[in-house]
């Protein structure tokens, strides 16, 4: 089960597609975070969802909010995918320890060794304000994310 609304978001530090460390605490007190877990780079539904973020980036990433995406792919796979698709938001690698962050957020799929489609909106104080989990192959409705983010800035 994914983390519930009202839970404190677990801290993490992961490497992005440029091999730079990104921590959730980098945003505490500064920005809300849209945290999006996905199974794998270069797959149909995942690519569609990440392109949806890219194509609507102003709705997700601005002075008040940052976007962080996470999968068990390596930073090197993320680099190629980001360059190919024009993703400028962080694609974070939860490769090792394998799926540790996805496990902490309750969205790791033990059977398949990957993250399910977990989405969390975390406020500036590190509290989960939106939580959902879809299974692999089940695309998410990004309108819910936008509504949750708007609710934080209201």
Contact 132, 148 (CB under 8 A): no
Contact 32, 64 (CB under 8 A): yes
Residues in the chain: 154
User: Which amino acids are annotated catalytic?
Assistant: 46
Residue 127 DSSP code: B
User: Does the N-terminal peptide bond of residue 97 adopt cis geometry, omega within 30 degrees of 0?
Assistant: yes
Residue 3 DSSP code: P
């Amino acid at each position: 089960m994914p983390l519930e609304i009202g839970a404190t978001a677990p801290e993490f530090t992961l490497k992005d597609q440029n091999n730079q460390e990104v921590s959730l605490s980098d945003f505490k007190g500064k920005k809300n975070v849209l945290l999006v877990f996905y199974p794998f780079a270069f797959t149909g539904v995942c690519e569609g969802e990440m392109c949806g973020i890219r194509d609507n980036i102003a709705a997700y990433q601005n002075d008040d909010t940052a976007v962080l995406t996470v999968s068990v792919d390596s930073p090197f796979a993320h680099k190629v995918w980001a360059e190919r698709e024009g993703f400028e938001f962080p694609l974070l690698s939860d490769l090792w320890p394998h799926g540790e962050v996805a496990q902490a957020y309750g969205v790791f799929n033990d059977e398949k060794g990957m993250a399910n489609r977990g989405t969390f909106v975390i406020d500036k104080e590190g509290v989960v304000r939106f939580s959902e989990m879809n299974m692999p192959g089940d695309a998410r409705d990004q309108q819910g994310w936008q509504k949750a983010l708007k609710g934080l800035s209201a």
